[in-house]
Amino acid sequence: MLMQGPDSIPPEIVGLANSFFMTIAVIALGIPIIRAITKRWASGPLPPPSPSPEVIARLERIEQAIETVAIEVERIAEAQRFSAKLMAEQAKISLPRPGSAS
């Protein structure tokens, strides 16, 4: 290494000092950013916004419509069971018994 005077700094030391100070700047700026990101992740997702009264009213109407359809489907099923029972009884009555002469 060739020194040019008592106050001159070698170029390797200047590069090392620049790298050191850049590292300090990145750490000083990076830590608060990383803390903010991790705090946001740790708190969990944000709660969904509350639905508007229009949406609530529409959902209530949909719920009532679904309940009405369910009741009607149950009525249809009951009518089908009843008619199947009647048809089975009619079939028993109208069929001749085996071994009996008609």
pLDDT digits (tens, 9 = 90+) for 49-79: 899 999 999 999 999 999 999 999 999 999 9
Average pLDDT, the chain: 87
Token output for 96: 């001749």
Q: pTM for this structure?
A: 0.45
**Nearest residue to 11 (alpha-carbon basis) of 24, 20, 2:** 2
Q: In the numeric block, which tokens belong to residue 85?
A: 């029972």
Task: Give me the pLDDT at residue 42, please.
Answer: 83
Mean pLDDT of 81-101: 81
